[in-house]
Chains A and B, each alone.
Chain A
Amino acid sequence: MAESREMIRVEKLNKHFGDLHVLKDIDLTVGESDVVVLIGASGSGKSTLLRCLNFLEIKNSGSVIIEGEAIDPKKANLNQIRQKVGMVFQHFNLFPHKTVLQNVIEGPIQVKKMKRATAIKEGKELLEKVGLADKTNVYPDKLSGGQKQRVAIARSLAMKPDIMLFDEPTSALDPELVGEVLTTMKQLANEGMTMVVVTHEMGFAREVSDSVVYMHEGRIVERGKAEDIFDNPQEERTKAFLSSIL
Chain B
Amino acid sequence: MEFIDYIGHLWDTLIASKGMFYEATKLTLKLTVVSIFIAIFVGLFFALLKISGVKPFVWISNAYIFIVRGTPLIVQIFIFYYGLSYGSLQISGFWSAALGLAFHNGAYIAEIFRGAIQSIGKGQTEAGRSIGMTSGQTMLRIILPQALRRALPPLGNQFIIGLKDSSLAAFVGLAELFNVSTTMGSNTFDFMTWLIIGAVYYLILVFILTMLVGYTEKKLAIGD
Residue pair A56, B126 in contact (C-beta under 8 Å): yes
Q: In the bound complex, what is the Cα–Cα distance between A56 and B133 (angstroms)?
A: 12
Residue pair A89, B126 in contact (C-beta under 8 Å): yes
Please classify the interface of chain B as helix (H, G, I), strand (E, B), loop, or mixed, using the class held by over half of its residues.
helix
B-side contacts of A156, CB under 8 Å: 130-131
Residue pair A89, B129 in contact (C-beta under 8 Å): no
A-side contacts of B52, CB under 8 Å: none
B-side contacts of A97, CB under 8 Å: 145-146, 149, 223-224
Residue pair B141, A82 in contact (C-beta under 8 Å): no
Residues 151-172 (chain A) with a chain B CB within 8 angstroms: 152, 155-156, 158-159
Residues 119-136 (chain A) with a chain B CB within 8 angstroms: none
Q: How far is the CB of B190 from chain A (nearest CB, A)?
A: 53
Q: How far is the CB of B127 from chain A (nearest CB, A)?
A: 4
Residue A111 at the B interface, CB < 8 A? yes
Q: How many residues of A contact B (CB 8 A)?
A: 30
Q: How far is the CB of A100 from chain B (nearest CB, A)?
A: 10
Residue B216 at the A interface, CB < 8 A? no
Knowing A89-B126, A110-B137, the reply to whether A96 touches B131 (Cβ < 8 A) is no
Residue pair A99, B223 in contact (C-beta under 8 Å): yes
Knowing A99-B223, A141-B223, the reply to whether A56 touches B123 (Cβ < 8 A) is no
A-side contacts of B149, CB under 8 Å: 97
Residue A48 at the B interface, CB < 8 A? no
Residue B132 at the A interface, CB < 8 A? yes
Give A152's nearest chain B residue, CB to CB.
B127
Residue A12 at the B interface, CB < 8 A? no
B-side contacts of A94, CB under 8 Å: 127
Residue A87 at the B interface, CB < 8 A? yes
Residue pair A93, B131 in contact (C-beta under 8 Å): no
Q: In the bound complex, what is the Cα–Cα distance between A159 and B145 (angstroms)?
A: 23
Residue A139 at the B interface, CB < 8 A? yes
Q: In the bound complex, what is the Cα–Cα distance between A99 and B126 (angstroms)?
A: 19
Per-position binary interface string of chain B over residues 187-224, scored 1 when its CB falls under 8 Å from any chain A CB and 0 otherwise: 00000000000000000000000000000000000111
Per a CB cutoff under 8 Å, which of B127, B141, B223, B224 touches A89?
B127
Q: How far is the CB of B133 from chain A (nearest CB, A)?
A: 6
Residues 38-58 (chain A) with a chain B CB within 8 angstroms: 54, 56
B-side contacts of A83, CB under 8 Å: 131-132
Give A158's nearest chain B residue, CB to CB.
B131
Knowing A91-B123, A93-B123, A93-B126, the reply to whether A98 touches B223 (Cβ < 8 A) is yes
Q: In the bound complex, what is the Cα–Cα distance between A96 and B124 (angstroms)?
A: 9
Per a CB cutoff under 8 Å, which of B123, B128, B129, B223 touches A139?
B223
Residue pair B130, A111 in contact (C-beta under 8 Å): no
Q: How far is the CB of B129 from chain A (nearest CB, A)?
A: 6
Residue B142 at the A interface, CB < 8 A? yes
Residue pair B131, A139 in contact (C-beta under 8 Å): no
Residue B119 at the A interface, CB < 8 A? no
Residues 97-156 (chain B) with a chain A CB within 8 angstroms: 121, 123-124, 126-134, 137, 141-142, 145-146, 149
Residue pair A111, B132 in contact (C-beta under 8 Å): yes
Q: A-side interface residues toward B, CB under 8 Å? A: 54, 56, 79-80, 82-83, 86-87, 89, 91, 93-99, 106-107, 110-112, 139-141, 152, 155-156, 158-159
Can you pick out 20 interface pairs between chain A and chain B where the beta carbons lie within 8 Å of each other? Answer: A54-B130, A56-B129, A56-B130, A83-B131, A83-B132, A93-B127, A94-B127, A95-B124, A96-B146, A96-B224, A97-B146, A107-B132, A107-B133, A111-B131, A112-B132, A139-B222, A140-B223, A141-B223, A155-B131, A158-B131
